[in-house]
Structure 1
Amino acid sequence: MAKRKRRETFGALRKLPSGRYQASYVGPDGVRHNAPQTFDNMTDARGWLAGQQTKILSESWSPQETRAVEQARLGRTETFADYAETWISTRTNRFGEHLRPRTATEYRRLVKGPLGQFAGARLSAIASEDVRSWYSALISAGTKTQAARAYELLKSILATAVADGRIKLNPCQIRGAASASTGKKTTPPVAADLQKMADAMPENLKAAIMLAAWTGVRFGELTELRRKDIEVVGEGDGTTIVVNVSRGVTHVTGQGFVVGPTKSEAGVRSIVLPPHVNGVVIGHLKDHVTRFPDSLLFPAADGHTHLAYSTFYRHWDAARRAAKRPDLPLHGLRHYGATRAAVAGATLKELQTRLGHSTVAAAMRYQHTAGRDEELARRMSELA
């Protein structure tokens, strides 16, 4: 049995059963560090401690170098992939919550995919020129959006590594890399396009197109809507329908469908449906949804499990082609609803609330659409 540690003016010594001495100290990082080897006598052990104290006092002590020596002693080297996995597993948001399952899965995909070049590298071995070369290759291949996401993740992980004292500087120093885009703009459909797409969908999914377009809900929010989330007030021409959004569903590899909170706290919202869409929704509730409060509005073929995106996409792709809009992504329907609200005169705050955005930055995009500009120009002409 090793004897208890001897108190020293700096650090601690412990005599091992073998008769040799082990030295350790608590560094500026608040972590106890052991000497990479044991010593024949107490004098040598104290000499090593004195050397470490001198480094600390002269500010030449480095947590990176210290950990590298310790890992080498243990016969292992921490790689970027190792550190990234720990980062993903322990990462929390500003509310103290762990990453959503879908987000964690996506981050792991990026680490294994676009960031795979760095997987086996030591954190300290990733240099700025390596990052620039890697990023340049990605955008040259035409994957600008994915490059931006991967770069943003790499930068965030390495920023934490700097804070943890694993590396001295973050090698991700490319200005604007995290916000790069393909430059492609989504042209929202016009009313005639929307109607053609709805008509081309199966009967049980026509209302899904109209709800996605006129409420701006995300796909995961749309496919988690249940009868209890649709509030019908009044009758006849005085009917008001409110769509209450409080949950979303995602499909996680290995876990299946996972129901959880909306993308952000702002995602919990109540959206009043434009009256001209009331009939479509009421008809859908009557013909395709059971009377149980928890019944899904748009379930899979079995009637009770969530609708997979791949299943919906087959019908959606045929519908957009029928409307001669094969370029339109499903997100274009959300864009449509936001644009219509902006043209109708919605303020930034109203758009932010309706779409469930945490900030007004995204809502601002819809205040500067072509439709909005045309409406403003028409009103300016009337004033003249």
Structure 2
Amino acid sequence: MGAKRKSKMTMRRFGAVRQYRSGRWTASYIDPTGLRRRSDETFETKTDAEIWLSQVEADITRKSWRDPDAGAVNFEEYATKWVAERGVAPLTEELYVRLLRLHILPTLGGWDLDEITPPRVREWRTERLDTTGAATTVAKSYRLIKSILETAVDDELIRRNPCRIRGAGKETSASGQVATVQQVDALAEAIGIRWRLMVYLGAYGPMRPEEQAELRRKDVDVDNVTITVRRAAPELATGKRVEGPTKSEAGKRVVVLPEFLRLDLQRHLDWYAEKGPEGLLFVGEKKAPFRRSTFGRKWRKARAKVGMPDNFRFYDLRHTGHTLSTRSGATLKDTMVRAGQSTEKAALIYQHSDHERQKVVAGGLDQMVRAAREKAREQQKKGPGGAQVVRDV
């Protein structure tokens, strides 16, 4: 019988290579912390093993070496901690938790960070698109995964973000619809006199529902036709009303309203707002704070009554306001300040828009709405009109 083939090691200037009895090769080296590391794979030839060592040595020299075990962190644990540490608004945190629970963790939750590869991300996305058909939700989920793993790169737990699908985070939504002036008036009338101002502030503010929910009597200046947005009170899916700061610092703002809303402001203060400076601007028939669920039922009935499509959301009033402001001469920065929007990119690009400029924008809106209402009245005089409601100003 022939003698067994012995394993042999060859020392190098950096690291060492060793041949197993099987004929394959392995490599090892001393890492920057003083621990000996061995390659996770074996190599067919000695040259292949030495090339691998040379690459490791180059990483150490460039100070780009990372602990091979650093990525051995469970994705679910890391993602859960990531969300908790973001300090995002309650509605955003609720969205993140829901996306993780329903769309991300069932597939990726069991993997370690360094086990989530580009092919696995592609497989996850394909499965979600095929199973749910919800392209917008999948895009949101993909952006969340990418953000979490980008932090993992910054934490030096993984070398590179595996989310590399071009355009996967972009969403195409049916939202962003624009109503006409007459449609806004019709919705305001149909929803009832107690909530009419909320529709107008949504369109011509344009204010978020959670911002309107926290408006106080002291925030309204009828003389100057302005409203100061200081805080917000989003309502979570659980029904909990979370009073706190606005979505961003840009959300704290003074909104100059069109002149035609002066009478609506005064009437609402006289008839419906709670008493005292801290009194809520919008309360229900039983004097309870604004509730999204209750208002949602009224909104759907009003929308159906005036013949608006089922996918026209209250939030689309904001898009209506953006569009009408732009048509009245507002710049992109003007509309951003008016709506309380702010992004890092916009802060670098867009010019300043001060209070005087906002008065000009509000004046343009006022003229546009008055002209549209007058045109509608003239059309009604000429013959039978539709179901649109036109209010006097």
Q: Same fold per TM (> 0.5)?
A: yes
The separation in 2 between residues aligned to 1:165 and 1:309, in whole angstroms, is 42
- Note closer, same or farther for the CA distance 1:201–1:150 as it changes in structure 2 (3 Å cut): same
Give the deviation of 1:82 after TM superposition.
Answer: 0.5
The separation in 2 between residues aligned to 1:349 and 1:162, in whole angstroms, is 34
Residue in 2 that maps onto 1:119: 109
Give the deviation of 1:217 after TM superposition.
Answer: 0.4
- Equivalent residues in 2 for 1:85-164, closer than 5 Å: 85-91=80-86, 98-116=87-105, 117-140=107-130, 141-164=132-155
After superposing on structure 2, the runs of 4+ consecutive aligned residues of structure 1 that deviate more than 4 Å are: 32-36, 54-64, 359-364
Give the deviation of 1:101 after TM superposition.
Answer: 3.0
Residue in 2 that maps onto 1:190: 180
Asked if the contact 2:213/2:233 (under 8 Å) is kept, the reply is yes
Asked if the contact 2:66/2:159 (under 8 Å) is kept, the reply is no
Q: TM-score, normalised by structure 1?
A: 0.70
The separation in 1 between residues aligned to 2:175 and 2:57, in whole angstroms, is 57
Paired AA for residue 80 in structure 2: E
CA RMSD of aligned residues (A): 3.2
**Greater relative contact order (CA < 8 Å, ≥ 6 in sequence):** 2
Asked whether 1:212 is paired with 2:202, we answer yes
- Note closer, same or farther for the CA distance 1:191–1:59 as it changes in structure 2 (3 Å cut): closer
List per-residue Cα deviations over 1:317-373 (Å, max 9, x = no partner).
111111111231112211122222212111222222111121586999xxxxxxx9x
Paired AA for residue 102 in structure 1: L
- Note closer, same or farther for the CA distance 1:331–1:253 as it changes in structure 2 (3 Å cut): closer
Give the deviation of 1:151 after TM superposition.
Answer: 0.7
Give the deviation of 1:58 after TM superposition.
Answer: 6.9
Asked whether 1:352 is paired with 2:336, we answer yes
Asked if the contact 2:208/2:318 (under 8 Å) is kept, the reply is yes
- Equivalent residues in 2 for 1:315-334, closer than 5 Å: 315-326=298-309, 327-334=311-318
The separation in 1 between residues aligned to 2:339 and 2:332, in whole angstroms, is 11
Q: TM-score, normalised by structure 2?
A: 0.68
Partner-residue secondary structure (3-state), 1:271: strand
Percent of residue pairs identical: 32
The separation in 2 between residues aligned to 1:191 and 1:58, in whole angstroms, is 65
Q: Select 1:199's aligned residue among 184, 189, 200.
A: 189
Q: Select 2:292's aligned residue among 272, 290, 309.
A: 309
- Note closer, same or farther for the CA distance 1:229–1:33 as it changes in structure 2 (3 Å cut): farther
Q: Select 1:279's aligned residue among 263, 269, 279.
A: 263
Asked if the contact 2:194/2:268 (under 8 Å) is kept, the reply is yes
List per-residue Cα deviations over 1:249-300 (Å, max 9, x = no partner).
1124669221222111111111111111211121111111132111111124
Partner-residue secondary structure (3-state), 1:251: coil
Give the deviation of 1:132 after TM superposition.
Answer: 1.0
Paired AA for residue 317 in structure 1: R
Partner-residue secondary structure (3-state), 2:300: helix
Asked if the contact 1:250/1:257 (under 8 Å) is kept, the reply is yes
Residue in 2 that maps onto 1:3: none
- Note closer, same or farther for the CA distance 1:314–1:185 as it changes in structure 2 (3 Å cut): closer
Asked if the contact 1:64/1:167 (under 8 Å) is kept, the reply is no
Which residues of structure 2 form unaligned runs of 5+? 1-30, 38-53, 351-364, 369-393
Give the deviation of 1:243 after TM superposition.
Answer: 0.9
Asked if the contact 1:296/1:304 (under 8 Å) is kept, the reply is no
Asked if the contact 2:99/2:141 (under 8 Å) is kept, the reply is yes
Give the deviation of 1:81 after TM superposition.
Answer: 0.5
Asked if the contact 2:251/2:340 (under 8 Å) is kept, the reply is yes
The separation in 1 between residues aligned to 2:216 and 2:34, in whole angstroms, is 56
Give the deviation of 1:131 after TM superposition.
Answer: 0.8
- Note closer, same or farther for the CA distance 1:66–1:298 as it changes in structure 2 (3 Å cut): same
Residue in 1 that maps onto 2:79: 84
Asked if the contact 1:64/1:168 (under 8 Å) is kept, the reply is no
The separation in 2 between residues aligned to 1:319 and 1:304, in whole angstroms, is 21
Residue in 2 that maps onto 1:381: none
Residue in 1 that maps onto 2:253: 269
The separation in 2 between residues aligned to 1:348 and 1:105, in whole angstroms, is 30
The separation in 2 between residues aligned to 1:312 and 1:33, in whole angstroms, is 64
Asked if the contact 1:63/1:165 (under 8 Å) is kept, the reply is yes
The separation in 1 between residues aligned to 2:77 and 2:34, in whole angstroms, is 21
Asked if the contact 2:231/2:245 (under 8 Å) is kept, the reply is yes
The separation in 2 between residues aligned to 1:125 and 1:315, in whole angstroms, is 49
